[in-house]
Amino acid sequence: MELRHLRYFVVLAEELHFTRAAERLNISPPTLTVQIQEIERTLSAQLLNRTKRSVTLTSAGEVFLSEARRVLKQFATAENAGRRAGRGELGRIEIGY
């Protein structure tokens, strides 16, 4: 799984609508659908309840959303620290897990 998968899932969870989420991500709805299915296959878990009219998160989806947000936030922090260190603003990089 890649960071883009986490981003895709978080945006879809925020929108609860494939077309709107795909528009925010600048990808096509079918591409988003395939990526979400790939996540579910990787995790062997259904993250979404889908009907023709709505998308909701399953309990597994709620847990995954929380963790995906945490990972994305940590990645942004690490990325920022790396940039600052590269500019000489930080003496060392610490990454907590």
Give percent of the chain with pLDDT exceeding 70. 95
Give percent of the chain with pLDDT exceeding 90. 72
- Say if residue 93's pLDDT is above 80: no
The per-residue pLDDT for 82 is: 84
| Polymer length in residues for the chain | 97
Concatenated DSSP letters for 37-97?
A: HHHHHHHTS--EEE-SS-EEE-HHHHHHHHHHHHHHHHHHHHHHHHHHHHTTS-S------
Domain spans in the chain, listed from the N-terminal domain onward? 3-86
The per-residue pLDDT for 91 is: 66
Domain 3-86 top-level CATH class: mainly alpha
- Say if residue 15's pLDDT is above 80: yes
- Say if residue 95's pLDDT is above 80: no
- Say if residue 26's pLDDT is above 90: yes
